[in-house]
């Protein structure tokens, strides 16, 4: 807690506002976390790990992607999962790439 809030940059140790510890261990003001969620930002601003349980969102995305055809069946890309840190090779998709290890879509292409 001897650092600034990654959203408002107020020094957390001297702050009078409530502080929340994210699942990744980073700290943030509760009001800043609430504001992030209101703006559909569900990843830690420092390390990009999910700040809440996203499993229902991933299930909905699975269902939506299953209905779409993929014209890039032969293209494979390497991804890094922001949640578990696994590196995988997956079939390219325009919408999202799913981590083989933890089933998260919180990934980035590398």
Q: At the top level of CATH, which class does the domain 55-109 belong to? A: mainly beta
| Per-residue pLDDT reduced to its tens digit, 1-20 | 789 999 999 999 999 999 99
Cβ 102 vs Cβ 83: under 8 Å: yes
- Domains of the chain, by residue range, sit at 1-52, 55-109
The answer to whether the Cα torsion of 73, 76, 77, 83 is positive or negative is positive
Whether 55-109 and 1-52 are alike in CATH topology: the answer is no
Confidence check: pLDDT of 74 > 90: no
CA atoms within 13 A on the CB side of 101: 13
| Per-residue pLDDT reduced to its tens digit, 21-69 | 999 999 999 999 999 999 999 999 999 999 999 999 999 999 999 888 7
User: Distance between CA atoms of 37 and 53, rounded to whole angstroms?
Assistant: 12
pTM of the shown model: 0.85
Helix, coil or strand: residue 61? helix
Q: What is the CATH number of domain 1-52?
A: 3.30.40.10
């Amino acid at each position: 807690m001897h650092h600034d809030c990654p959203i408002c940059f107020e020094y957390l140790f001297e702050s009078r506002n409530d502080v929340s510890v994210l699942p990744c261990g980073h700290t943030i003001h509760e009001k800043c976390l609430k504001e992030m969620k209101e703006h559909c930002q569900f990843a830690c601003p420092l390390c990009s790990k999910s700040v809440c349980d996203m499993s229902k969102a991933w299930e909905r995305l699975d269902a939506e992607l299953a209905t779409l055809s993929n014209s890039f069946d032969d293209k494979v890309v390497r991804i890094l999962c922001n949640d578990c840190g696994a590196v995988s090779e997956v079939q390219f998709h325009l919408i999202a790439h799913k981590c083989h290890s933890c089933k998260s879509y919180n990934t980035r292409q590398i």
